[in-house]
Amino acid sequence: MKDKMTVALAGNPNSGKTSIFNNLTGARQHVGNWPGVTVEKKEGRFNKGGCEVSVIDLPGTYSLGAYSLDEVVARDFILSGEADVVVNIVDATNLERNLYLTTQLIEMGANVVVALNIFDEAEKKFHINVEALGDLLGVPVIPTVAPEKKGIEELEEAIFEAAKTSPACKIELSYGREIRPHLQQLIQMIEKIPQLERMGNPRWLALKLLEEDEHIRKRVEETKGTEKLLGEADKAVAHITSIIGDDPEVAIADHRYGFISSLLREVMHLRSPSRARVSVSDKIDKVLTNRFLGLPIFILVAWGIFEATFRLAEPLVHGIEVGMEYLGNLFTTLMANAPQWATSLVVDGIVGGLGNVLVFLPNIFLLFLAISLLEDSGYMARVAYIMDHLMHKLGLHGRSFIPMLIGFGCNVPAIMATRTLDSRRDRMITIMVNPLMSCSARLPVYVLFVGAFFTKNQGTVILSLYLLGIFLAIVLAKLFGSTIFKGESSHFVMELPPYRLPTIKGTFVHMWERGKLFLRRAGGIIFAVVVVIWSLSILPYGVEFGGQDSLAGKLGGAVAPIFAPAGFNAPEASIALIFGFVAKEVVVGSLGVMYGVGEEGLAGALQQDFTPLSAYAFLVMILIYVPCMATVAVIRRETNSWPWTFFAVGYSMVLGWVVATLVYQGGLLLGFS
């Protein structure tokens, strides 16, 4: 037995791949990014019989084409040969869709073990001859039920047995008389070019050339002595297309599905045809995905989530506030004899800065918990399905709505969630408009101002801001899609998995992974910038912290005239906007410092410099203008481009000023004071 082994997990989304990964690795997991790309990389380990097994959880993908970063990353890792065994997790309740990836893996020559997951639910509808399925595929097939850890030990044994054998292509589809001769010709040519051995099985490589896979073709072009091969591949594609009237890629896919269909007729039989026609999931979907009821039900569900999130988080938020206040007082006492600047750095800068991050963690974690419940139950896939029609009108597709939904909680994980989008075009558009989704950090500012100026219409005013953000996102998505990101939206292919009862462990693992990423990527940035802003607020030494004589105060006075057309030209408002670049929730605290009052007296102070109209214009500016530092950082990370990051910052600043000015000046024209 080897001392070390690498196992890759591959499978469709919603196949239970994450659950099997958790069962195999337990707590020994690490999350990062694949080198050079922004796709998430999950790696874990387990030991058995003195062998240390490294488990790589590949991105969930329906195929090994080249239509998304996920597919490219998964395919390149398998081609690299680093994995001794590839465990293909297959949803047993939807074998026809899932076995498409299986056939591709086997054709690649990967050393495959199939984990037939969700086997208990499948057995309620079908009888699956597991042994026959394994024989026909030529690979081990192990039934599993991941939430109950059934079949995990057998899967481990199959992995070790498979590692003792050499990988080989164990099934060969004929692909019909039009494709077969061209395929054989290309295989023979590939076998004569030794440099192409590193790119995988010759048969699989020939299929990729016939499918006109641009990534594979580019790699072949970079190899010396392949000009004749590429010329013959082009001739073959043209000839096949002229005969069948369609791209070879479509014909190859049809043959694979034909093979799968024939395979399933041999190994799978309905237990009760009348019972299987309408499942519980189908009955629920008749209501939840109804063209008239689906959207109102989702809005009601979303409202319930946000309402529950903020109500449940309130005592936790208060507890953190009390704890940070106690910590600040403690450091003030302990540092009584320290220089004033040192005390201010610790209390106002470090403790205060961390407090601004930590105070909203309960809201963020609870929102992630709710989203995990919706995803694990299967409802989130229905939401994307419901929104598909509307999103297509914007030049996007249904999956783009998921990051937008997450954006109402926090734009940072929302932008990270765009990794699930297939095309770069859809991803870039969604990233650019996502900051217009009003995140929870803006809510304290809304609450402060509506309490001071709109006591009779608080809910209506806040709702109008959320709707304004959605409206602007729709307009800009359409504009970007028809100008700077031209092209058709990628096709929307999403399975509607059966509804399942989420497991407690799985739900909390998902919540923690998202929350941990927010802490690591956002917390460090906010902490660093808060220290910088503290320095601006205390210098020149001896001035009032954050006062108008400080560098921050002078900066606010210099910027204030810019906002005069929007109705708020007080230096305090400008300073608050500058501080809000760090984190929107800092705006309330900044105003309190600038006006020199606590939150109870802040409403009265605001009424001296704002009217209801200018107050609403200020809220519009808070909604639209430059995203917070954490969001800017994640935009840079996800786009891997400084120019696009500057574009996102620049257009939002201009748009915020323009819309706020239109609101104020338009209100004056209409007679509002």
Strands (E), 221-284: 268-270
Helix (H) or strand (E) holding 383: helix 379-393
Cα(337)–Cα(323) distance, integer angstroms: 23
Minimum mean pLDDT among 129-143, 322-336, 626-640: which range? 322-336
Count other C-beta atoms under 10 Å from residue 363's C-beta. Answer: 23
Minimum mean pLDDT among 188-197, 331-340, 433-442: which range? 331-340
Residue 290 pLDDT exceeds 90:
no
Per-residue model confidence (pLDDT) at position 54? 93
Cα(337)–Cα(347) distance, integer angstroms: 14
More confident residue, 117 or 411: 117
Structure tokens at 619: 């809220």
Sorting pLDDT into bands at 50, 70 and 90, what band is 486?
Answer: confident
Cα(93)–Cα(119) distance, integer angstroms: 7
Structure tokens at 192: 């004569």
Residue 620 identity (one-letter amino acid): V
Interval 224-238: pLDDT, tens: 889 999 999 999 999
CA atoms within 13 A on the CB side of 493: 13
Residue 25 neighbours by CB under 8 Å, 6+ apart: 44, 45, 46, 55
**3-state percent breakdown (helix, strand, coil) of the chain, nearest 5:** 70, 10, 25
Per-residue model confidence (pLDDT) at position 56? 93
More confident residue, 221 or 400: 221
* Domain boundaries of the chain, sorted by first residue: 4-163, 176-247
DSSP string for 293-325: THHHHHHHHHHHHHHHHHHHHHHHHHHHHHHHH
Per-residue model confidence (pLDDT) at position 250? 86
Structure tokens at 101: 């990836």
**What would the mean pLDDT of 636-659 be, rounded to a whole number?**
93
pLDDT averaged over the chain?
81
Cα(486)–Cα(160) distance, integer angstroms: 49
What sign results for the dihedral spanned by CA atoms 409, 415, 419, 422?
positive
State the pTM of this model: 0.61
Per-residue model confidence (pLDDT) at position 592? 65
Per-residue model confidence (pLDDT) at position 169? 60
Per-residue model confidence (pLDDT) at position 358? 66
**Beta pairing partners, 532:** none
Residue 451 pLDDT exceeds 70:
yes
**What would the mean pLDDT of 49-78 be, rounded to a whole number?**
84
**DSSP 8-state code for residue 488:** P
**What would the mean pLDDT of 88-94 be, rounded to a whole number?**
94
Residue 434 pLDDT exceeds 80:
yes
Closest residue by Cα to residue 43 from 100, 83, 90: 83
Per-residue model confidence (pLDDT) at position 199? 81
Cα(189)–Cα(202) distance, integer angstroms: 9
**What would the mean pLDDT of 239-261 be, rounded to a whole number?**
85
Give the CATH fold of the 4-163 domain.
Answer: Rossmann fold (3.40.50)
Sorting pLDDT into bands at 50, 70 and 90, what band is 600?
Answer: very low
Interval 187-227: pLDDT, tens: 989 998 988 887 878 889 999 999 998 888 998 998 888 99
Q: Which residues of 41-53 are buried (b: 16+ CB within 10 A; e: fewer)?
A: bbbbebeeeeeeb
Residue 160: left (phi > 0), alpha (psi -120 to 50), or beta? Answer: alpha
Residue 552 identity (one-letter amino acid): A
Share of the chain above pLDDT 90, in %: 23
Residue 55 pLDDT exceeds 80:
yes
**What would the mean pLDDT of 350-372 be, rounded to a whole number?**
69
Residue 356 pLDDT exceeds 60:
no
Q: Are strands 268-270 and 141-143 parallel, antiparallel or unpaired?
A: unpaired
Residue 613 pLDDT exceeds 80:
yes
Residue 98 pLDDT exceeds 70:
yes
